[in-house]
Amino acid sequence: MSKKIALIVGSLRKASYNRKIANELIRLQPDGLELEIVEIGEMPHYNEDLETETPPQAWVDFREKMLTMNGVIFVTPEYNRTIPGVLKNAIDVGSRPYGSSVWKGKPGAVISVTPGTTGAFGANHNVRQAVVFLGVPMCPFEAYIGGVSKLFDEQGNLAESTQKVLTDFLGSYKNWAEKF
């Protein structure tokens, strides 16, 4: 039986490199994993005043979708040495209301993606810091994709060396997720 794994993409740009990497993960997914992008761009900013009997429908939809997932992989750029606000918002919305977190116990992993050379190190660790607190056991295998703007050819094909990195990452994540 396949494990349903949410891909949370921290960039909203339609042609973002993060979305391209998420789509590559779907293309390269191994047997036993069923990866799916769960959209986060339509959710209003978390505001506890809106956490009533009728919270925003986008929050409800996101939470319900995440409850059907067996794990999560975050694919994020780095903005100012941290994660984009939209990604932090998704983490916050999923963690509420108190005691009803959609994250707890779901095996997680993170891939940080940047055209720069640092591999978005700060964002990678900021995701880990936020979700470990919420009870997400994080895969010890880390993936940093630097120089991403040079990794796709004119036809949109990802460099074979990076495909191998993603395939190895997915194999490690699959082994990790099977423990939970």
What does the domain layout of the chain look like in residue ranges? 3-177
In eight-state DSSP terms, residue 148 is: G
C-alpha distance from residue 77 to each of 22, 63, 138, 174, 175 (Å): 12, 23, 18, 23, 25
Whole-angstrom distance, CA of residue 119 vs CA of residue 113: 6
Q: Is 142 exposed, middle or buried (0-12, 13-18, 19+ CB in 10 A)?
A: middle
pLDDT in tens, 94-112: 999 999 999 999 999 999 9
DSSP 40-67: -TTPPPP-GGG-SSS--HHHHHHHHHHH
Indicate the class that CATH gives domain 3-177: alpha beta
pLDDT in tens, 82-97: 999 999 999 999 999 9
pLDDT band at 118 (very low <50, low <70, confident <90, very high): confident
Judge if pTM exceeds 0.85: yes
pLDDT over 80 at 119, yes or no: no
pLDDT of 170: 98
pLDDT of 1: 80
What percentage of the chain has pLDDT greater than the value 70? 100
Whole-angstrom distance, CA of residue 152 vs CA of residue 140: 27
pLDDT over 90 at 58, yes or no: yes
pLDDT of 116: 86
